[in-house]
Amino acid sequence: MTDLTARPEAPAAQPGEISGHAGELAVAVARAHGVETMFTLSGAHVFPMYDGAVKADPPMRLLDVRHEQTAAFAAEATGKLTRVPGLAVLTAGPGVTNGVSAIAQAQFAGSPLVVVGGRAPQNRWGSGSLQELDQPPIVASVAKLARTLPTAGDVLDGMDEAFRAAGSSHRGPVFVDVPMDEFFSSAVGPEPSGGSDRGAEPDTDAIATIASLLAAAARPVLILGTDVWADGAEVAALRFVEDLGVPAITNGMGRGIVPGGHRLLVTKARGQALNGADLVVVVGTPLDFRLGYGVFGGKEAGSSPARVVHVADSPGQLSAHATLAASVSGDLTSVFDALQGALERGPRPDWTDWVTDLQATVGQASERDRALLTAEADPIHPARIYGELVPRLADDAVVIGDGGDFVSFAGKFVEPQRPGGWLDPGPYGCLGAGLGAAIAARIARPSAQVVLLLGDGAAGFSLMDVDTLVRHNLPVVMVMGNNSAWGLEKGPMQMLYGYDVAADLAPQTRYDDVVKALGGGGETVTDPRQIGPALDRAFAAGTPYLVNVITDVEAAYPRATFGI
């Protein structure tokens, strides 16, 4: 048996050094990199991390949850919201494997995340000790880096490497584990300094080529994605849009960079913009299924697809499958500023007529939306929820989507006023992330509204963590579109086969009673006229509160792609 009580004293530290057990050293590195909260679920393999957090000066906040997936999703959302790597600490074996979906989501979304796993003791390895599992090979395919730090002496450098990798372009998750016996052992080493690597300067020839393409374009469209926010380029991006007058569409955490209602935000005219453009410049998001795999227009007889420019924060993020007219990678603020400078040195493009056409379509779409947003239908049309919610959202609200059809409606109707306030499942499409993201948002933005949009199906993955919100006094408004079905699957299956199976849930389940049982508040709404008053009660509650709105399962979101 491994004796964890017989631990030698930590070696003495010289000036410029620190000493302590491996958990203390790991916490010191995390603190140096800006971490303020450790998300976890209690496990003996990682007790030294807790001891390090408690004894740090000042102590590091420990946020314990009810399922490891929530700890990892909370850390992933923290990375998105703060642009500092989030930290999840997961016990060995099932603790780590329960966190893999969140690690994969971070990989797909480019979220800075460090996950520290417990590991069976090295001095018993191969003997069949509890939860003895070689974890890095399991995680490696969905992480920037996955490795074991074999001794206490490896922790300072190994943790620093983990945080630097997670926080540098292209951002993503890093996993490290430490054998239990070594976690309790001590070491000495240099005081950690923190920091991450700034993106490279963009290639000047590529900038000149893209500037020439923009100058020659009659109908350009700019798409701003998550990495524009992650790279801290939101100010440069908005300046580029406004000074040059280029119409823009936003997605992911790019939402809000061009504020909702801005004359150059043409997301509501997306179809016309992308089908009619002669040049599409995509910045900070992959050319995946959400963007037609990088093919825009060319569907009508005699028309040609738009030329496409792809801009990314690092070379590995540039599309390898799409036909590109040009591409460039590097620090995205530098890219925007260099492009703007190049365009302003030549004849200024005039896209007024193009913008005017798109603005007209935006206006028409807004008029059409108004009928849905005010619908009196019975059962309730899910759009009516947004008709009541959107006017109640403050400019600094954090809106989190965890669901299928219901959250798709949110993408249509919610246009954030500020960047960094929109969290959705992203290209990985993982349900169950919402409660973790809500926990993270309430901590990261203590004075902001935090609204979690839940499908009733998605709620089943993590609603138990309302208990975490209650225990840690984290008030969040939860709004559920409850259509008693897996709506995103029910419609497509009927379309393909003429019937559906495994798509129905229990009708009108009182999920608000579950929230009440866990110490929060809530109510069920079946009358569209009562949605607004229920939301007002939720915002005023000062406690986790679920507005459970029973919606029409037949009111499906009219989607153009099923992700394949």
Type of residue at 410: A
Q: What pLDDT is recorded for position 25?
A: 98
Question: For 290-299, what is the mean pLDDT?
Answer: 92
Q: Scanning the structure block, which residue is given the tokens 């999920």?
A: 511
Question: For 23-50, what is the mean pLDDT?
Answer: 98
Residue 1, pLDDT > 80, answer no
Q: Scanning the structure block, which residue is given the tokens 């609603």?
A: 463
Tens digits of residue pLDDT in 159-205: 999 999 999 999 999 999 999 999 999 999 999 998 878 889 999 99
**Phi-psi bin for 504: left (phi > 0), alpha (psi -120 to 50), beta?**
beta
Mean pLDDT of the chain: 95
- Split at pLDDT 50, 70, 90, the class of 449 is very high
Distance in angstroms between the alpha carbons of the first and the last residue of the chain = 52
Q: What pLDDT is recorded for position 340?
A: 97
Q: What pLDDT is recorded for position 466?
A: 98
Q: What pLDDT is recorded for position 301?
A: 76
Tens digits of residue pLDDT in 344-397: 999 989 999 999 999 999 999 999 999 999 999 999 999 999 999 999 999 999
Q: What pLDDT is recorded for position 562?
A: 61
- Split at pLDDT 50, 70, 90, the class of 11 is confident
Residue pair 28/163 in contact by the 8 Å Cβ criterion: no
Residue 520, pLDDT > 60, answer yes
Tens digits of residue pLDDT in 73-122: 999 999 999 999 999 999 999 999 999 999 999 999 999 999 999 999 99
* Inter-CA distances, 160 with 5, 28, 418, 469, Å: 28, 10, 32, 31
Q: What pLDDT is recorded for position 9?
A: 73
Question: For 310-336, what is the mean pLDDT?
Answer: 97
Helix (H) or strand (E) holding 282: strand 279-283
Q: What pLDDT is recorded for position 202?
A: 97
Residue 31, pLDDT > 80, answer yes
Helix, strand and coil percent figures for the chain, each rounded to 5: 45, 20, 40
Percentage of residues of the chain with pLDDT beyond 90: 91
- Split at pLDDT 50, 70, 90, the class of 564 is low
Residue pair 546/511 in contact by the 8 Å Cβ criterion: yes
Antiparallel, parallel or unpaired: β 186-190 and 17-21: antiparallel
CA distance 455 to 458: 5
Helices (H), 421-530: 434-444, 456-462, 466-471, 487-497, 511-517
For the chain, counts of helices (H) and of strands (E)? 22, 19
Question: For 325-349, what is the mean pLDDT?
Answer: 96
Q: What pLDDT is recorded for position 532?
A: 98
Helix (H) or strand (E) holding 273: helix 270-276
Question: For 265-290, what is the mean pLDDT?
Answer: 96
Question: For 254-266, what is the mean pLDDT?
Answer: 97
CA distance 120 to 3: 13
Tokens of 255: 């939402």
Cα angle 58-63-68, degrees, rounded to a multiple of 5: 140
Tens digits of residue pLDDT in 399-418: 999 999 999 999 999 999 99
Tokens of 128: 């069949």
Q: What pLDDT is recorded for position 8?
A: 65
CA distance 185 to 182: 5
Residue (of 545, 520, 547) closest to 533 by Cα position: 547
Residue 467, pLDDT > 90, answer yes
Residue pair 349/343 in contact by the 8 Å Cβ criterion: yes
Least confident of 161-165, 204-208, 424-428: 424-428
Tokens of 191: 């005081």
Q: What pLDDT is recorded for position 561?
A: 61
Question: For 237-245, what is the mean pLDDT?
Answer: 98
Tokens of 390: 């959107």
Tokens of 285: 């998001």
Question: For 274-278, what is the mean pLDDT?
Answer: 96
Instruction: Print the SS3 string covering 92-160.
Output: CCHHHHCCHHHHHHHHHHCCCEEEEEEECCHHHCCCCCCCCCCCHHHHHHHCCEEEECCCHHHHHHHHH
